[in-house]
Structure 1
Amino acid sequence: MFQTSEDVIKWVHDRKKFGIKPGLERMEWMMEKLDHPERRLRAVHIGGTNGKGSTIAFLRSILQEGGSEVGTFTSPYVESFHERISVDGVPISDEDLIKVAEVIKPLAEQLETTDLGAPTEFEIMTAMAFYYFARIHPVDILLVEVGLGGRLDSTNIIHPFVSVITSIGYDHMNILGDNLMDIAMEKAGIFKSGQPVITGVRNKEILEKYEEIVKENRTALYKLGEEFTYEDLGPTEDGGEAFTVKTLYKTYENLEISMTGRHQIENATLAVMIAEYLRQFYAIYLEEEHIREGLKKAYWPARFEVVSQKPTIILDSAHNKEGIDSLVETVNRHYPDKKGTILFTALKDKPFSNMIQALEKLGYPIYFTEIDDARAATAEALFETARTDQKEIVTDWKGFLSKKISSQPEDELIIVCGSIYFVSEVKSVLKQLLH
């Protein structure tokens, strides 16, 4: 059926033509045909607007240090398609990807002939992941990232040990709603009866609604800033962050992470609380040293990732207003008074006007480009939105970067940000330009 992993990837990507179809009916149909692999998963379910991937990276690293084998299902990918389904950070093999796809493809074709219609790209990926972790490579614990929203997301057929909402911001408003409360309620759709919720959300009104839902579900809500807290101790000498975390169970003094930014301290603090909960209630083996080492070793690509020091090149897949705000804050925190250049693009369904306004606060010249994608905003549309006088359109961004790298003063920054698809392409190109 499939000769190579490239055949699988092409088949999965071809499903994009079916778009985004929120709802669980097609997933439930496939799971029933597969004898419910989702019921065999020992999972943590992680949703939210920003911070999902980084929180998963911190938590995976902590659990691995303690000796657990950890599966992850994340999206989208940065470096390779295979990384979406990984064990201990190692992407699924070509052989296993083909094996799983050959189980799911006949089901997808059969489903397409029913009244439910064809499964989407993300539904196919989710079915492949759940089958893989249930039947081919079971793991001690599986960390599942919500794809979009929560209530109607394909992943929301699992019954996890604990549900997590990292943050709430304005994203996917055409599907989730145009105000924070509507978005928050869609994300709360992953809350399950009897299963606790851990959250980094700070909005008082949203937290009050979450408290009501959790109470109805006869379980508990653990809130950042209340049941668990952190103290920001400032940047470390090597460009990371130092902080202290206090949970209901223990205080961890002077923790360090290599990932940069105050928002990453919050993600790391969430990961510590989740790890603590798993240790307390599910007998997951963890000592303090595992938490310390796990946090320090954690890495997640394209999140304020410094890929070169001379000149300093930073890649950040900040693709909404809150992500750009964190990027700007982190630049000011770690590179105060530095000059720099920004290369930016975004998808047209993102609030790019607000994103550009936030970037302009850095006072750097902004170069706008575009990618070959049906959802991409044009460089012209981005350029016209910008208020700064320091702006320019770049059609050949590869040539632009090559020239910049050779001519930019070593003490100035080059920041590439916006669409994760663009940042992923740039990362691949930079590997050639920098070596």
Structure 2
Amino acid sequence: MKFKTAKDVISYLYALPHLHPKNDLSFIKKVLQELGNPQDKVKTLHVTGTNGKGSTSYYLSNLLKKAGLKTGLFVSPYILEFNERIQINGQNIPNEELVEVANQVELAIEKIRRTESDFSLVTFEYEVAMAFLYFDQKDCDYAVIEVGIGGQHDKTNVIDPEASIITTIGLDHEKIIGPTIKDIAQEKSGIIKQKKPVVVGNIPSEVLSIIQAKASQEKAKLYRLGEDFKIDDDGNYQFESYKFKFMPRPKVENYDIALAVTTFLLLKIDLTSSMIQQAIDETVIPGRYQIINQQPTIILDGAHNVQAMQNLLTFLHQTKNYRKIKILITIMKDKDILDVFGLFDQRDEVFLTTIPYVRAAKKEDFPDEIIAKYSYFEDYQTAFSKLRDSLQKDDILLVTGSFYLVSAILKFERCSNESQKH
């Protein structure tokens, strides 16, 4: 046995390389074959998209759970603990079972190394293998699988899902799957499979033909948001003879709901209208428009690219009866920093910070005009505490720009609350 604790597993995973020299699926396929191809033994649903894939995955898994089905969920990134990445029926994989499946994956790798001495997995491949093995061993009825990056070459793309979902297509991770939006669309279309339905959200008109061509090639029936199913700003949803009313949310969140519900309905699983509405309204998505305080309102959202930030700020600026919006933000230095900051309203009070993470922008990474315009706090905890304490009843504080910052603030708040109890 190589691993004894969950900490051992996680430390080992993050010491592994992140990319192979060649970008294909041969490594993950080989280890899954050695494990008995667990990915083929559970019905799956595959979700990709520039934004919204995590939210859509959570909504869809909660619908399946509500229908009484044992449902696995594989998502990234995690917010509070690594175990969030692999869940069954909303419960994170326990530490002892994380250790168990990791040791089984390691044993499979050791067997392969008997004939291929240099065989190894990258971090994400190891995580994917653990997830599929866990879902199979726990006899899941379904597993909702969120793509890591892209689609066609993503390490999760070893399944023949019951349905595929493409939430949105925009510019992100251009260096890996770009550089153009057409390249990104082509990559994401790779999850469309032979004669399996594909449900798509807001796809830009210049790349819609790429998705349509791939669906036609695979004889996969295409269901488009706004054409085949609809949802309005008030949460009114319609698909074929189905009609539901959901609680109003940010427009982009409504779109994710519509994608999840449409996919669920295509599976022909028996669930009453009221239970469908209940499943959606009960779904809590960590770090995605997560409200942790009311009056004053404190919102955490990991929006980390131009498309996500634009959707978030548009909704926030339409909010009625607020006095001020204060925004605490850090951003990864490889993102389009100027484009993101160009979305803020003149009335927004924006404060910059950073976190102890190698990709996070420090003061010197922000453009001069951004540093000249906004206050910068080296310590995110100090920044958050000062802003929180300065809020009036009708103010809104938004923490955004990175899931890493959202995670750090949630942990800080949890520690603060626990210390106050004692």
- Relative to the length of structure 2, the TM-score reads 0.93
Counterpart of 2:127 (choices 121, 125, 128) is: 125
Deviations 1:256-285 (A, max 9, x none): 26xx31111111111110011011xxxx22
1:162-181 to 2 correspondences below 5 Å: 162-181=163-182
- The question of 1:395 aligning with 2:378 is answered yes
In 2, Cα distance between the equivalents of 1:380 and 1:30? 43
* Mapped partners of 1:320, 1:112: distance in 2: 40
- CA distance change for structure 1 residues 21 and 406 in 2, over 3 Å: closer, same or farther? farther
Structure 2: gaps (5+ residues): none
How far 1:422 sits from its partner (Å)?
1.6
1:6-405 equivalences under 5 Å are: 6-16=7-17, 22-108=23-109, 114=116, 117-134=119-136, 136-233=137-234, 243-252=235-244, 254-256=245-247, 260-279=249-268, 284-335=269-320, 337-358=322-343, 360-361=344-345, 363-382=347-366, 384=368, 386=370, 390-405=373-388
> Which ranges of structure 1 fall in alignment gaps of 5 or more residues?
234-242
Quick one: structure 1 residues 380 and 225, their matched pair in 2 at CA, closer, same or farther if it must change by over 3 Å? same
Alpha-carbon distance in structure 1 between the residues aligned to 2:111 and 2:139: 27
**Equivalent residue of 1:215, what SS?**
helix
Are the equivalent residues in 1 in contact too, given 2:225–2:259 (CA < 8 A)? yes
What do the CA deviations read for 1:227-275 (whole angstroms, capped 9, x no partner)? 1112322xxxxxxxxx2111124222x3226xx3111111111111001
Q: Distance in 2 between matches of 1:340 and 1:52?
A: 27
The CA deviation string for residues 177-224 of structure 1, in whole angstroms up to 9 with x for no partner, is 122111111000111111111100332232222222111112211100
Please state whether the residue corresponding to 1:251 is helix, strand or coil: strand
| TM-score using structure 1 length | 0.90
In 1, Cα distance between equivalents of 2:117 and 2:215: 35
List per-residue Cα deviations over 1:263-320 (Å, max 9, x = no partner): 11111111110011011xxxx2222122111111111011121111243211110011
With 330-339 and 144-153 compared, the bigger mean Cα shift is at: 330-339
| Equivalent position SS for 1:331 | helix
- Tell me the CA shift for residue 363 of structure 1: 2.7
Secondary structure of 1:159's counterpart equals: coil
Structure 2 distance, partners of 1:401, 1:112, is 49
Q: Which runs of 4+ in 1 moved over 4 A?
A: 16-21, 109-113
RMSD: 2.1
SS of equivalent to 2:164: strand
Aligned residues: 416
